[in-house]
Structure 1
Amino acid sequence: MALSLSCCTSLYIHNQVRLSNHVNIKNNLKIVKNLVHSAGVPSIAIPPQESLQKGNWVKLICGASFEDVVDIRNLSLVYTLAGVDCIDCAADASVVSAVNEGIEAAMNIVPIRRPWVMISVNDDEDLHFRKAAFDPLDCPLDCSRPCEAVCPANAIVLNKGDSLEGGVINERCYGCGRCLPVCPYDKINAVTYLRDAVTTAQLVRRNDVDAIEIHTNGRQTDSFEEFWSGMGDSVSNLRLVAISVPDVGKATTTVMNTMFSIMRPNLSCYNLWQLDGRPMSGDIGRGATREVLAFAVHLAATEDRPPGFLQLAGGTNAQTVKGLKEHGLFQTRRNPDDGILTGEISNSCNSLIGGIAYGGYARKIVGRILRSMQSQHGLAYIEDCPAYLSEALREALALVGSVKCYVHPGIHQE
């Protein structure tokens, strides 16, 4: 009897602690809700296609090779609350599910417009589709392990014992390549891969994928045509098709027009051209965004480019909006009659630049908060740690708000 009573008492205390924690979390989430509402996110969060037309579209790039589902879920939750229009992720079923779970969790905190979910694929070898690989047993014990120090994703962990153990955490590696040149023994390799059209088509037919981005090398279109053909009628399920193109000089618009002619017969949704200025470098510094700005200036002034929205990526960071403003391209519309730049906003035509995609930089500013949370709470859901969620949301609101033009005294704007 005493034992039974003791068990009941213990269970009662346990349930009371759980209830108390739930109440504390619920109360602390009010701060998160107030942040979202005071920034004006729900009132500004228009349908994604309208954001493209207005020129204030924002996409979060989780990373075409980044497959850490816990981080991806938490990043998706934070940036959904911040009002992004699209979340771009690896073409992997578990990753897509993690993105959608994060979105749903955010919408349970604040009723907000759902961003589109985009998967990234490639038609040929591409920097975004690779992983670092090496055998830690081949590493000398006295190695200073510079690879571990430079990895922005904390994807390399080496433990010293009788030999070095650990190596690359495959799902965390997104192929930035920073570790390759710093290895003093040249032990690290880049393993590249292709996303096949059949598997991609299966993902696209899911009801929780809205868009696809195809990375292409911009030099020839045979592989693009083969991939597009392999997608078959699955493209009819999409709201948006994006093509990520590098700047290859005068040939850029020629290649873009050829790809558009390939897509056009069965393209039944919006299309977008992602101007990939300096891939995998959004977290390097102030100079990282110059190449994509130059690319945008060039294409915005080009008359023979194919239809479709233009969006910046590759080197985008906190300086990108400032650069667009300096070049007269931020939320600026083209006069359809004379083709010159004009500062007048008109509903009769789209913005010259539809918006901005943030990748490495967006992940970095929130990722350091996720790392701090995990050091204290392990692999936690960020909404269960409202203090960290508030901190992460402030960072995300400042970045997204620079494009969306949020106004809030607690959010730093450039």
Structure 2
Amino acid sequence: MNNLLAPLQSLTKGNWFKLICGASFQHLPTVRSLTIAYTLAGADCIDVSADPAVIAAVQEALQVAKSLTSDAQERGFNYKGNLPFLMVSLNDGEDPHFRKAEFDQTQCPQTCPRPCEKICPAQAIIFNRTKDNFSGVESQKCYGCGRCLPICPYDIIYTKSYISTPTAIAPLVISTGVDALEIHTKVGRLAEFQQLWQVISPWAAQLKLLAISCPDGEGLIEYLQSIYNLISPQSQQIIWQTDGRPMSGDIGDGTTLATVKLGQKVLAANLPGYVQLAGGTNRYTVAKLKAMGLLNSADQAGTNRHYIAGVAYGSYARVLISPIIEQLETKEVNPNNLKANIHLEEEPELLWQAVELAHSLVSQIKSQQER
């Protein structure tokens, strides 16, 4: 199989796996490590912030993963050297995926128990960091989940949202070889979506894949149909990403129910393209899809389209690998280590532990066609 076609083949089979690094997550060492681990585990797509530094880090990581193909195979992983699609995200309006938490640490009382620090899944909230005495939100690590907002006893944490600028993204796609684009939208924002699309459309045809991410809302199907009517002249494949409970997959197994339900709703509409789950996805998602008969069985691969084509994992996938990343960061601050950053591939034991963890998640949906 042509390496460039492998991810699209996964969509057709119904065993597509996407890693969501985060539309506003810009911590380069973590993005790099996640990309290597999940690529070697067999991911089909890496979804990242539309940030030049993040894109460059991912592209470097993809080549590192490809160079480790033989090592992965020797260790029993079914990685064939295929590179996943590199996807970047844009938004047509305010969206929780495109925001950062902030607070003024001077307003934080010394007696505060700091529940924000404990609840942050990205470990982005820090108090009195040793090396620079920093307190506050480490912006590059924050991906906008908002869990710190209601838990602050003094209500001093707030968020700043932003809308990505498509005119700045277009040169990135043209010059850096981004394969896919995801547009985050909401029901009722067709005019805003159209304005964004007018900027994107001249260069969108060169993409291999276009994803539309939208949460539920009254008139959802009609809204998605209007979007399809607007973008349908383009030739790339289309994914409808059902964003059930955004950035909640690591909270508990039950969070997946919202995205499965939403996936069923969009699937029943028979829109052209593929339906892929996101938002609340975790270890329970594939089991739930299997139990409900929503995955394509191995003996029917490619013969019908009335199935969930894939699953995207964000917070759950990142938290799954976080123990390895924490160990890597611990090595970096070793006073005897003169190197600022240690790359995951430089620590083979940690590398293959990370790949094993990633594979435990990727293999859930891949086993649909590999058994």
Q: Secondary structure of 2:135's partner?
A: strand
Write the deviation string for residues 20-46 of structure 1: whole angstroms up to 9, x where unpaired: xxxxxxxxxxxxxxxxxxxxxx99997
In 2, Cα distance between the equivalents of 1:165 and 1:369?
A: 24
Counterparts of 1:39-58 in structure 2, within 5 Å, are 47-58=6-17
> In structure 1, what is the equivalent of residue 77 of structure 2?
none
Counterparts of 1:397-412 in structure 2, within 5 Å, are 397-405=359-367
RMSD: 2.3
In 2, Cα distance between the equivalents of 1:46 and 1:400?
A: 19
* Contact 2:48/2:87 (<8 A) preserved: yes
Distance 1:407 1:197, change over 3 A: closer
> In structure 2, what is the equivalent of residue 198 of structure 1?
167
> In structure 1, what is the equivalent of residue 343 of structure 2?
381
What is the TM-score with the length of structure 2 in the denominator? 0.90
Write the deviation string for residues 179-230 of structure 1: whole angstroms up to 9, x where unpaired: 1111111111110000012012122212420000000012231100000001
In 2, Cα distance between the equivalents of 1:351 and 1:102?
A: 35
In 1, Cα distance between the equivalents of 2:107 and 2:204?
A: 46
Match of 1:330 among 295, 306, 330: 295
> In structure 1, what is the equivalent of residue 188 of structure 2?
219
Q: Secondary structure of 2:128's partner?
A: strand
- Report runs of 4+ in structure 1 exceeding 6 Å deviation: 42-46
In 1, Cα distance between the equivalents of 2:327 and 2:352?
A: 13
**Is 1:307 matched up with 2:272?**
yes
**Is 1:81 matched up with 2:40?**
yes
Q: CA deviation at 1:347?
A: 3.5
Write the deviation string for residues 1-54 of structure 1: whole angstroms up to 9, x where unpaired: xxxxxxxxxxxxxxxxxxxxxxxxxxxxxxxxxxxxxxxxx9999711110010
Q: Secondary structure of 2:241's partner?
A: strand
> In structure 1, what is the equivalent of residue 112 of structure 2?
143
In 2, Cα distance between the equivalents of 1:364 and 1:43?
A: 32
> In structure 1, what is the equivalent of residue 231 of structure 2?
263
> In structure 2, what is the equivalent of residue 184 of structure 1?
153
In 1, Cα distance between the equivalents of 2:279 and 2:324?
A: 23
Write the deviation string for residues 301-352 of structure 1: whole angstroms up to 9, x where unpaired: 23xx4211100000000000010011110125xxxxxxxxxx9615443352
Match of 1:104 among 44, 47, 63: 63
> In structure 2, what is the equivalent of residue 345 of structure 1?
300
> In structure 2, what is the equivalent of residue 59 of structure 1?
18
Kindly name which structure, 1 or 2, has the bigger radius of gyration based on alpha carbons. Answer: 1
Unmatched segments (≥5 aa) in structure 1: 1-41, 333-342
Match of 1:363 among 306, 313, 318: 318
* Contact 2:117/2:126 (<8 A) preserved: yes
Q: Secondary structure of 1:376's partner?
A: helix
> In structure 2, what is the equivalent of residue 246 of structure 1?
215
In 2, Cα distance between the equivalents of 1:53 and 1:290?
A: 24
* Contact 1:297/1:327 (<8 A) preserved: no
Q: Which amino acid aligns with 1:366?
A: I
Q: Secondary structure of 2:238's partner?
A: strand
> In structure 2, what is the equivalent of residue 236 of structure 1?
205
Unmatched segments (≥5 aa) in structure 2: 70-79, 334-340
Distance 1:142 1:96, change over 3 A: same
* Contact 1:54/1:351 (<8 A) preserved: no
> In structure 1, what is the equivalent of residue 96 of structure 2?
127
What is the TM-score with the length of structure 1 in the denominator? 0.81
Counterparts of 1:253-292 in structure 2, within 5 Å, are 253-265=221-233, 267-292=234-259
> In structure 2, what is the equivalent of residue 297 of structure 1?
264
